[in-house]
Amino acid sequence: MDHLQLGAYTFSSRLILGTGKFSSAPVMLEAVKASGAQLVTVALRRFNREQLEDDLFGPLSEIPGITLMPNTSGASTAAEAIKAAHISRELSGSPFIKVEIHPNPQHLMPDPIETMEAARILASEGFLVMPYISPDPVLAKRLEDVGCASVMPLGSAIGSGQGLASAAMLSIIIRESSIPVIVDAGLRAPSEAARAMEMGCSAVLVNSAIAASDNPSEMAAAFRDATEAGRHGFKAGLMAESTEAVATSPLTSFLGEQS
Amino acid sequence: MTLLPDWLTEQSISRELEAMLRNRSPESLETMAARSRAMTLRRFGRTMTLYAPLYLSNYCSSGCAYCGFASDRTTPRRKLDEEEIRREIAAMKQLGIQDILLLTGERTATVGFEYLRRAVEIAAESMQRVTVEAFPMSVEEYRELADCGCTGITIYQETYDSMQYEALHRWGPKKDYLYRLETPERALEGGIKTIGLGVLFGLSDPVTDALMLYRHARHLEKKYWRGGISISFPRIRPQTGGYEPAFEVDDHLLARIILAFRITMPDVELVLSTREKPSFRDGMAGLAITRMSIASRTTVGGYLEGESPDEGQFEISDSRTTEEFCQALRNRRIEPIFKNWEPAYNGPSHQTRPCS
What pLDDT is recorded for position B259? 97
Q: What is the pLDDT of residue B238?
A: 66
| pLDDT confidence of residue B313 | 66
Assess B226–A contact: CB distance below 8 Å, yes or no. yes
Q: State ipTM.
A: 0.79
pLDDT of A69 reads 96
What whole-number distance in Å separates Cα of residue B141 and Cα of residue B117? 9
Task: Give the Cα separation of A78 and A119 in Å (integer).
Answer: 8
pLDDT in tens, A47-98: 887 876 778 888 888 888 999 999 999 999 999 999 999 999 999 899 999 9
Specify the pLDDT at position B91: 94
Q: What is the pLDDT of residues B149-193, one digit of tens each?
A: 999 999 999 999 999 999 999 988 899 999 999 999 999 999 999
Contact by Cβ (8 Å): B281, B250: no
State how far the Cα of A83 lies from the Cα of B151, in Å rounded to an integer: 17
Nearest residue in chain A measured CA to CA from B331: A23
Residues B140/B190, Cβ–Cβ less than 8 Å: yes
Taking CA atoms, what residue in B is nearest to A209? B42
Closest CA to B293 of B268, B322, B315, B313: B322
Is A248 among the domain residues? no
pLDDT at B241: 66
Asked if B344 has any chain A CB less than 8 Å from its own CB, the reply is yes
The pair phi, psi for residue B156, each rounded to 5°, is: -85, 145
Give chain A's domain count.
1
User: Which residues of A fall below an 8 Å CB-CB distance to B?
Assistant: 20-25, 43-48, 50-51, 54, 74-77, 80, 83-84, 87, 103-108, 159-161, 207-208, 211-212
Beta bridge partners of A203: A182
User: 3-class SS at B100?
Assistant: strand
Domain coordinates in residue numbering, chain B: 6-342
Could you tell me which of B237, B352, B292 has the C-alpha nearest to residue B53? B292
Phi-psi region of A13 (alpha: psi -120 to 50; beta: other; left: phi over 0): beta
Q: For chain A, give the number of residues.
A: 259
Phi, psi of A102 (to 5 degrees): -125, 105
User: Mind spelling out the 3-state secondary structure of chain A?
Assistant: CCCEEECCEEECCCEEEECCCCCCHHHHHHHHHHHCCCEEEEEHHHCCCCCHHHCCHHHHHCCCCCEEEEECECECCHHHHHHHHHHHHHHHCCCEEEECCCCCCCCCCCCHHHHHHHHHHHHHCCCEEEEEECCCHHHHHHHHHCCCCCEEECCCCCCCCCCCCCHHHHHHHHHHCCCCEEEECCCCCHHHHHHHHHHCCCEEEECHHHHCCCCHHHHHHHHHHHHHHHHHHHHHCCCCCCCCCCCCCCCCCCCCCCC
- Which candidate from B43, B221, B344 shows the least CB-CB separation from A159? B43
Residue B53 DSSP symbol: E
Q: A71 - beta bridge partners?
A: A43, A98
The partner residues of B194 in beta bridges, in order of sequence, read B152, B228
pLDDT of residue B316: 79
| Chain A nearest CA to B178, separation (Å) | 26
Closest chain A C-alpha to B39 CA, distance in angstroms: 9
pLDDT tens by residue, B124-140:
999 999 999 999 999 99
Residues of A in contact with B221 (CB under 8 A): 106
Residue among A93, A86, A148, A89 nearest A115 (CA): A148
- 3 state DSSP class of B49: strand
Do residues B125 and B149 touch, judged by C-beta distance below 8 A? no
Mean pLDDT of A27-48: 93
Let me know: does B268 contact B217? Beta carbons within 8 Å.
yes
**B105 touching chain A per CB within 8 A:** no
Tell me which residue range forms the domain holding A32: 4-236
Question: What confidence tens digit (pLDDT) does each residue in A132-150 have?
Answer: 999 999 999 999 999 999 9
Task: Give residue B356's pLDDT.
Answer: 46
Q: How far apart are CA A223 and CA A15, in angstroms?
A: 8
Instruction: Give the containing element (helix H, strand E) for B130.
Output: strand B129-133
The answer to whether residue B322 neighbours chain A at the CB level (below 8 Å) is no
Q: What is the pLDDT of residues A230-250, one digit of tens each?
A: 999 999 999 887 777 777 777
Number of residues that this document lists for chain B: 356
- Profile chain B (356 residues) by mean pLDDT over runs of 10 residues: 90 94 93 95 93 93 84 87 95 94 93 96 96 96 96 97 93 92 97 96 96 97 93 82 84 96 96 93 95 88 74 76 94 93 87 54
Chain A residue closest to B352 (CA)?
A103
Q: Give dist(CA B61, CA B108) in Å, integer.
A: 6
Tell me which of B356 and A21 has the higher pLDDT: A21
Nearest CA to CA, how far is A200 from chain B (Å)? Answer: 27
pLDDT at site B134? 95
CA angle, corner B128, sides to B88 and B227, nearest 5?
A: 120
What pLDDT does residue B304 have?
82
* Nearest CB partner across the interface for B98, out of A21, A50, A106: A50
Mapping DSSP onto H, E and C, the string for B271-314 reads: EECCCCCHHHHHHHHHHCCCEEECCCCCCCCHHHHCCCCCCCCC
Is A98 annotated in the active site?
A: yes
Please name the amino acid found at residue B77: R
pLDDT of amino acid B68? 81
pLDDT value at A124 more than 90:
yes
pTM of the model: 0.89
Q: Is the domain covering B6-342 a CATH 3.20.20.70 domain? A: yes
| Burial call A98-122: b when 16+ CB within 10 Å, e when fewer | bbbbbbbbbebbbbbebbbbbbbbb
Distance in angstroms (rounded) separating the CA atoms of residues B144 and B146? 5
Which listed residue (A21, A33, A83, A98) is catalytic? Answer: A98
Name the closest residue on chain A to residue B93, using Cα atoms: A50
Nearest to A21 among B45, B267, B341 (CB): B45
- pLDDT higher than 70, residue A203: yes
Contact (CB<8Å) A74/B334: no
Residue A168: CATH number of its domain: 3.20.20.70
Contact at CB, A76 and B334, closer than 8 angstroms: no
